[in-house]
Amino acid sequence: MFHLEPRPQTSKLWIAITPLLAVVATMIAGGILFAFLGKDPFVSIRLIFWDPLFGDFAFYYRPQLLVKGAPLILIAIGLSLGFRAGIWNIGAEGQYIIGAICGAAVGLAFYPMESWLIFPLMILAGALGGTLWAMIPAILKVRYGTNEILVSLMLVYVAEKLLASMSLGLLKNPEGHGFPGSRNLRDYASAFNDELFAGTGMHWGVAAAFIAVILAYVLLNRHMLGFQIRLTGQAPRAARFAGVNPPRLILFCLGTSGMLAGLAGMFEVSGPSGQISIDFNTGYGFTAIIVAFLGRLHPVGILLAGLLLALTYIGGEIAQGQLNLPAAAIQLFQGMLLFFLLAVDLLSNFRIRLNQRKESI
């Protein structure tokens, strides 16, 4: 009955409203999912989207938006640069883990010495660790033409094994009575990423996320490198004629995304998480892919999308506690956002037309 008709040019209106439509569609589909699980869909959606902002304990949950949103925004900003250029880093979770391991290792190496230099060194170590881990798929792609999607994704599992090894071995707390995991960095003032202003949730990781948004916006709109990134994604052949160096662009985009993911891991392990443990990684690297696309690969859009996904994390925890919803249902709910965004995004380039019946003479 219907067919898709290509638009003469991409609709700016649909590009603007599809993220909102995807969120609404996710709420509806999520409500149906929760109803099948025997939960009140209206109460479930209210707990996820309303209570963290306006509920009885909103004064506690609101600062958590910044805490949960900061790593998502940091990672998504890095991913968006590569995605714009057609360079697909799907392994940010691994770079996030390695950044956390390197940052925590530097901090614990100085324990129990107190010095203001320790935390900056941890920042450098986290950024360097994430960058080097991302350089593996970058160099393999430049040198041997391998697929960066597969290589970066497989390295996530290697990073997870390293995380378990460090939790049970080299970084294990010698005073932990045999339990896996490192010392808690919350008890080590020089390595602790404390709030800059009490009760606000604002720590150095949040500040870094806002700085990354500003720098990415300037890069993409005011710098020649940003122009080359956008041109490569939109017209690869034109980019080659314009003198773009593909290997250099690959190294830059993957290196930058790895650096920001590593920073996110370092700020998380030195602050909200507090220690290296087997279950340290919570999927931020994969969720950031949703954030990047929901934010239209635009720095400001990513900022808003990161806060929205952070809201689903916080609201999901509330729903799990009050309604006994399984954690997998909340993860599925978050994943629906990306699928609905991709589905509705089709309308940016196509119109839905009703097929005309041809009457036989």
At 3, the pLDDT band (50, 70, 90 cuts) reads: confident
> Which tens digit of pLDDT belongs to each residue from 169-214?
999 998 888 889 999 998 899 999 999 988 888 999 999 999 999 9
List strand residue ranges (DSSP E) for the chain, in order: 2-6, 350-354
At 357, the pLDDT band (50, 70, 90 cuts) reads: low
Confidence at residue 361, expressed as pLDDT on a 0 to 100 scale: 47
Percentage of residues in the chain having pLDDT higher than 70? 98
Confidence at residue 57, expressed as pLDDT on a 0 to 100 scale: 85
> Domain 38-325 class?
mainly alpha
Confidence at residue 239, expressed as pLDDT on a 0 to 100 scale: 81
At 351, the pLDDT band (50, 70, 90 cuts) reads: confident
Picking from 87, 119, 117, the residue whose alpha carbon sits closest to that of residue 103 is 119
Average pLDDT over residues 149-172: 95
Does the pLDDT at position 360 exceed 70? no
At 105, the pLDDT band (50, 70, 90 cuts) reads: very high
How far is Cα of residue 112 from the mean position of the Cα atoms in its chain?
33
> Which tens digit of pLDDT belongs to each residue from 304-339?
999 999 999 999 999 998 998 888 888 888 889 888
The phi and psi torsions of 171 (rounded to 5 degrees) equal -100, 10
Percentage of residues in the chain having pLDDT higher than 90? 69
Average pLDDT over residues 278-287: 91
Does the pLDDT at position 46 exceed 80? yes
Spatial contact of 208 and 296, defined as CB atoms under 8 Å apart? no
Asked which of 153-162, 214-223, 277-286, 344-353 is least confident by mean pLDDT, the reply is: 344-353
Percentage helix, strand, coil for the chain under 3-state DSSP, each rounded to 5: 70, 5, 25
Query: Average pLDDT of the chain?
Result: 91
Confidence at residue 234, expressed as pLDDT on a 0 to 100 scale: 82
3-state secondary structure of 197: coil
Average pLDDT over residues 92-97: 97
**How is the chain split into domains, by residue range?**
38-325
Average pLDDT over residues 114-121: 95
Confidence at residue 237, expressed as pLDDT on a 0 to 100 scale: 80
Confidence at residue 354, expressed as pLDDT on a 0 to 100 scale: 79
Confidence at residue 334, expressed as pLDDT on a 0 to 100 scale: 85
Counting other chains too, the contacts that 159-162 makes at CB distance below 8 Å and 24 or more residues apart are 159/93, 159/94, 159/95, 159/97, 159/98, 159/133, 160/94, 160/97, 160/281, 162/97, 162/98, 162/101
Does the pLDDT at position 358 exceed 90? no
Picking from 239, 217, 223, 214, the residue whose alpha carbon sits closest to that of residue 85 is 239
